A = this chain, B = another copy of it.
């Protein structure tokens, strides 16, 4: 099922990040034809290349430490946070691939096995980069991810694994929801990419639009509000159904400053799985 790619899992992880940002239009996001003022295509290139040694440390190093290293490597470019969510999506899948079971069950096994120290590594990654996040729930201030490594004592005190941290965010964060639910959207997206034909970046753009038309993008909820995310989904449905072009939708979202980053993260995960299952570039 896996392993048809002559590339290693680490190479396919990097390639998935590169193909994700290449697919166009991915309305509202940086892609082959779109830059933002301070976040440009080449920042994503450098981000993907910077994360590569961490992907290569799988499976020998624990997931939390690998994640922190990946984010620190990603960060060596001037765009800021390029692929935090995409790496958080792809990384457990790289572990699952190494364990010989790149499937929803295999991915669920990986995340279920995470430890408190993995949670500490995850929090430390926030020291390297500014990530858009919500305020923590009432009474959880000591676990605010913006505390970064300073939250280590609280994590150990509460004995929270990384999986348990994700459970607490699953209702407000699309990547955390994938972790908790066995990566259903990622694997559905991979199946769609495999069933599609034509250049792989074009397939990625189509699966991105389909995801955007189906579920609320939680990054849009965080950076704007729920109503904006619902409106984006409606417009994405219209684009998917041919009532406007994806390029027109892209123009709309750019004009509003809306970028559906979570949907891009899941697209990167779908590309990784598709590559490992033999989709040829």
Contacts and interface: CB of A to CB of B under 8 A. Distances in A.
Interface of A: 5-8, 11, 14-15, 18-19, 22, 32-33, 40-43, 45-46, 49-50, 52-53, 76-78, 199-201, 280-281
Contacts of A7: 49-50, 76
Given A52-B52, A199-B40, A280-B78, A45 B18 contact: yes
A22 B32 CA distance: 9
A19 B32 contact: no
Given A49-B11, A49-B14, A281 B77 contact: yes
Tell me the interface secondary structure of chain A in the complex. Answer: helix
A134 to B, nearest CB: 30
Contact of A22 (B6, B42, B49): B42
A106 to B, nearest CB: 24
10 tightest A-B contacts by CB? Answer: A46-B281, A18-B45, A15-B49, A6-B76, A77-B281, A11-B49, A42-B201, A42-B281, A14-B49, A42-B200
A78 B281 contact: yes
Nearest to A201: B42
Contacts of A42: 19, 22, 199-201, 281
Contacts of A46: 15, 281
Given A7-B76, A32-B41, A78-B280, 4 more contacts: A11-B49, A22-B42, A42-B281, A78-B281
Nearest to A50: B7
Contacts of A52: 11, 14, 52
Contact of A15 (B19, B45, B199): B45
B19 A45 contact: yes
A55 B76 CA distance: 20
A281 B39 CA distance: 11
Nearest to A281: B46
A247 B11 CA distance: 34
A272 B32 CA distance: 22
A225 to B, nearest CB: 32
B199 A49 contact: no
